[in-house]
Amino acid sequence: MKAIIISDICPLYVGTSSQSELADEPLHGMVVETVSGVSDGYQRVRTHYRYEGFAEPANLLFDESRVGYWENAPKWTVWALYLDVKAKPDVRAGNMANCPRGGLLERLDSDEILEDGYIEVGLPDGRRGFARRAGVEPQIASWSRSDETRLRAELVRTAKTYMGAQYRWGGKTPLGIDCSGLTSMTYLLHGIHIYRDADLRPGFDMKEIPFEQKQPGDLLFFKGHVVMYIGNDEYIHSTAYREAVGVVINSFDPDSPLYRGGLMEKFLKAGSAF
């Protein structure tokens, strides 16, 4: 059985309690698979990127007909940091839903831009609302390696749009994001599926490469940490390091003011989707 995330963010916990460790944050409009029945008021689910955890059922829509429709419907991906879906195309209208970056909305037959830059969009439960066209882009369902240079530059640019977001263990939005949340969401926004954790796993769009072959957009894996290489000996990452908590840029160059010592001592492998 499958379900659709209908809250802005659906926390997935390691255990059946909101006080347990946060494992992941599936976003509005994502479809998850139910793994087992409800336990202690929580539903165990599995995401399309093979991550599991316990969710509060109130965040899920279990209607099989809606799930089937939603999976095949064309989508908008939210690119705004956070986007309101309004009851009317008016900034003063009430909110019907809220979506963080990476959330999904239905793309209807008409893309007509209405007053104040709004378009009509669909919600998972079948309702229709209005969102700012500037905050969404057509979902990238698949990706192509045909223009590698351009895509690498876009990955770096997208990662940088999270600059300043606080570090949140298990997080994956501009409200709070961890190291693998940053890298996996950056790739997912471009239609590329990589493993959610700071590791390489079979069955995802990334393979190991020698460290010396790294290029902008490639990932570097350390013990318990992952960063994106952005060129010129610099990398972007979300860190809980006491002197820079959140998404920042650091350097491998000891002469750079952005240098952070000690990280290379924990280096494990490099990975590339190209």
**Distance of alpha carbon 83 from alpha carbon 105, whole angstroms:** 11
| Predicted local confidence at residue 142, as pLDDT | 79
Secondary structure of 71-114 in HEC code, one letter for each residue: HHCCEEEECCCEEEEECCCCCCCCEEEEEECCCEEEECCCCCCC
Q: Which two tokens stand for residue 64?
A: 């099989």
Q: Which two tokens stand for residue 177?
A: 């994001």
Whether 74-138 and 2-71 are alike in CATH topology: the answer is yes
Determine the straight-line distance between the first and last CA of the chain, rounded to whole angstroms.
34
**Distance of alpha carbon 179 from alpha carbon 266, whole angstroms:** 15
Active site residues: 179, 225, 237
Domain boundaries, the chain: 2-71, 74-138, 148-272
Q: Decide if pLDDT at 173 tops 90.
A: yes
Q: With a threshold of 0.85, does the pTM exceed it?
A: yes
Domain at 2-71, CATH class: mainly beta
- Enter the CATH code of domain 74-138: 2.30.30.40
| Predicted local confidence at residue 244, as pLDDT | 72
The alpha-helical segments, DSSP class H, found in the chain are: 64-72, 148-160, 179-188
Q: Which fold has domain 148-272?
A: endopeptidase fold (from Nostoc punctiforme) (3.90.1720)
Q: How many residues does the chain have?
A: 274
DSSP code for 165: P
pLDDT digit string, tens, across residues 104-142: 999 999 889 998 999 999 999 999 999 999 999 999 977
pLDDT digit string, tens, across residues 37-92: 788 899 999 999 999 999 999 999 999 999 999 999 999 999 999 999 999 999 99
